[in-house]
A and B are shown apart, each in its own frame.
Chain A
């Protein structure tokens, strides 16, 4: 396995458009996380899945954001009606079980113009 894979790597969109990102975790990792990172800041936790169940959501995850992990494998993060403030790097991570480190993907850089 080559690690956590995210697609696309870069996305430029106009304000008001919807975007969807995909994350493929490391095989057999049942825990999957989404984070957002802006320039000069640490990643901010957005949401967490264990298998297909979404178990945690940050208050940062407004109603415009939705995440799914339909079969407990890959996950998607959708942002509706994008705003300029959504411009950031969106990072996905996975881990095999609790108390282990999470392995991060390369991220999707979103620019809203």
Chain B
């Protein structure tokens, strides 16, 4: 059974600081997705990582994928309050040709002034 683990699950940090969220998954997959969810809202796609070594950046967020280590990271640079949200990583359901996603439990991020 595919397991997706994120850590930390809760993170409180100050504006201006850097931090990294980690996502480990248990079976082989060449794809990984990062989503953001604001309270009471739906999920917003942040990054689609499609190969080993993939790195994508958008603003203060940068995501990377190491398929050999089964690890993805989401790095936050110089955090600002607007980045406060819950961040999920997700891996294809069966780790292969399937299409549904298995999500981690999410990292609840609070950025304080």
Contacts and interface: CB of A to CB of B under 8 A. Distances in A.
B22 interface: no
A33 interface: yes
Interface stretch (A11-19, A64-72, A80-88, A97-105): A97-105
Contacts, number: 61
A42 B42 contact: no
A48 B104 CA distance: 19
Interface residues of A, number: 27
A43 interface: yes
A58 B100 contact: yes
Given A48-B99, A99-B50, A42 B31 contact: no
Interface string B83-110: 0000010100100001111111110000
Given A41-B106, A42-B88, A42-B90, A102 B42 contact: no
A60 to B, nearest CB: 11
Given A43-B103, A99-B31, A56 B45 contact: no
Contacts of B48: 99-101
Contact of B93 (A41, A45, A91): A45
B43 interface: yes
B60 to A, nearest CB: 20
Interface in B42-68: 42-45, 48, 50
A54 to B, nearest CB: 11
Nearest to A91: B42
29 contacts: A33-B99, A33-B101, A35-B101, A40-B105, A41-B105, A41-B106, A43-B90, A43-B101, A43-B103, A44-B103, A45-B93, A45-B100, A48-B98, A55-B99, A58-B93, A58-B100, A93-B43, A100-B48, A101-B33, A101-B45, A101-B48, A102-B33, A102-B45, A104-B42, A104-B43, A104-B44, A105-B42, A106-B41, A107-B42
